[in-house]
Amino acid sequence: MSTATSTPPPATPAPPARVLVVDDDPTVAEVVTGYLRRAGHSVHHAADGPAALDSAARHEPDLVVLDLMLPGIDGLEVCRRLRAERPVPVIMLTARGDEDDRIAGLELGADDYVTKPFSPRELVLRVESVLRRSRSAAPRTAGGGQLTGAGIRLDPRTRRAVRNGQELMLTLREFDLLAHFLTHPGRAHGREELMRDVWGWDFGDLSTVTVHVRRLRAKIEEDPAAPRLIRTVWGVGYRFEAGGEEGTP
């Protein structure tokens, strides 16, 4: 494996967690599980899609590191089935040139991805970043109370979001992205800024932000093709219109 030239900044390690590593390459699996165990996590390994689903059902991992190229059932289908059961965070492992697969995985609700070849240390840092966010009470908000706007009520403490009386089924990153928008209504945000403030990275593939905005629009907009809440600001990024619909709080 290569050593990455740029890695996420050092951070306080997340508390130990149950991590499921799914990869059919024995060398990659051995290195990844070794690094994660040395970081204090309890790690299980699965070498194919069916084994991954069985292990997830038996051990209920706190996070899954998931290779997309798997025998039996491919990683995209494994991700789809995992997310249908419960909102477990998923970090995908993808080949460097497989942009379509990365986007497809993000569309299914994966929280992050790392491209092969990768630095095991970088992967551990990304795992711990996702774990911290999934276990935190919420993104920081003024006063720590509920956030409201455009018919949406979001409770950072319970990580629940409701729109017009219906609960929204949001992934970890979608929730954090919506919280960020609700905290800063009417303000234009660049994708680099969102990557830094929501994902916690000073670098990364900005298509990740684009895909998550598209997924969030599909869940909160009346017509995602003509969004009234999350507006595109050409040449800048996005702006959330808290009063974008009638009858909003």
Instruction: Determine what percent of the chain is predicted with pLDDT higher than 90.
Output: 44
CA count, 13 A, side-chain hemisphere, 237: 21
Residues 244 and 223 sit within 8 Å (Cβ to Cβ): no
Looking at residue 246, what is its pLDDT? 40
Domain 18-135: which CATH class? alpha beta
Residues 53 and 78 sit within 8 Å (Cβ to Cβ): yes
Domain 147-240: which CATH class? mainly alpha
Confidence of residue 2 (pLDDT cuts 50, 70, 90): very low
Alpha helices in 23-171 (DSSP H): 26-38, 49-59, 75-85, 99-107, 120-135
DSSP-assigned beta bridge partners for residue 44: 20
**Average pLDDT in the 15-22 region?**
91
**Average pLDDT in the 152-163 region?**
88
Q: Count CB neighbours of 64 within 10 A.
A: 27
Residues 175 and 215 sit within 8 Å (Cβ to Cβ): no
DSSP E strand boundaries for the chain: 18-22, 42-46, 63-67, 90-95, 112-116, 147-149, 152-155, 160-163, 166-167, 188-190, 230-233, 237-240
Residues 230 and 149 sit within 8 Å (Cβ to Cβ): no
pTM higher than the cut 0.75 = no
Burial class (CB in 10 A: 0-12, 13-18, 19+), 199: buried
| pLDDT tens per residue across span 79-115 | 989 888 887 889 989 876 666 777 777 777 788 888 8
Per-domain boundaries in the chain? 18-135, 147-240
Looking at residue 1, what is its pLDDT? 52
